[in-house]
Amino acid sequence: MSVVLLRHASAGDRVEWTGDDRRRPLDKKGWKQARRLVDELRELGVRRVLSSPYDRCVQTVEPLAEELGVAIEIDDRLAEGAGRDAALELLGGLEDVVACTHGDIVDEVLGRPLKKGQYSLL
């Protein structure tokens, strides 16, 4: 296993959120998705956890990081709008890592979308 690219779990409707979008948290469905991901990602051999600094991404990988006993490594190159080149620069050469990011980064890196809470191996 090398890199797992993960789109953050469900965080409600962006339009209905009135605060800073970087602070938009997971909703009830999103927390269920985050807990479900723990066993799946652990079975893939994930040992490191990277995340966009946005709350919804960090929260998506919190249960996994707790289970693994590791800190979440925050990196702006996974943030919304960071772009394909920045994400690929970060992800190149990594092993046994999950990287939680946003739909735009997923689309740019994979060339296809993922639903919220879904992942793909790189």
- Residue 7 host element (H or E): strand 3-7
Residue 24 maps to which CATH number? 3.40.50.1240
Question: Could you report the per-residue pLDDT of 72-112, keeping only the tens digit for each?
Answer: 999 999 999 999 999 999 999 899 999 999 999 999 999 99
Count of structural domains, the chain: 1
Question: Could you report the per-residue pLDDT of 21-76, keeping only the tens digit for each?
Answer: 899 999 999 999 999 999 999 999 999 999 999 999 999 999 999 999 999 999 99
Residue type, 33: Q
Q: Which residues contact 110 (CB under 8 A, 6 or more apart)?
A: 5, 120
pTM listed for this prediction: 0.96
Q: What residue numbers bound the domain in which 21 lies? A: 3-121
